[in-house]
């Protein structure tokens, strides 16, 4: 079955890219590739980034203690 969404892709390049991904074996079909893309976008839009809160708090505490280095020195080799 051909997904109706194939005909609605904004650019020919999008369909060509999807076809190449299927040909490379990354997806079994264009339908599967589109389903994965929608699932990924849905997950991103629903992520409230609560998992990052402990890392941000730890970084803020380090900054408050003065436990920092300059960006310039962090890239110096």
CB 48 within 8 A of CB 20: no
Dihedral of CA 20/24/26/31: which sign? positive
Contact call for residues 68 and 62 (beta carbons, < 8 A): yes
Provide the pLDDT for residue 54.
95
pTM surpassing 0.85? no
Give the start-to-end residue ranges of the domains of the chain.
Answer: 10-68
**Mean of the per-residue pLDDT values of the chain:** 85
Q: Collect the ranges in the chain with pLDDT lower than 50.
A: 1
pLDDT digits (tens, 9 = 90+) for 3-24: 556 666 667 888 889 899 999 9
pLDDT at 52: 92
Per-residue pLDDT, 10: 63
């Amino acid at each position: 079955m051909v997904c109706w969404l194939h005909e609605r892709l904004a650019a020919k390049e999008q369909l060509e890219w999807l076809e190449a991904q299927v040909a490379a074996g990354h997806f079994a079909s264009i339908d599967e590739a589109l389903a994965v893309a929608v699932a990924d976008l849905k997950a991103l839009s629903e992520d409230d980034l609560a998992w990052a809160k402990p890392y941000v708090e730890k970084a803020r505490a380090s900054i408050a203690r003065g436990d920092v280095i300059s960006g310039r020195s962090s890239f110096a080799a």
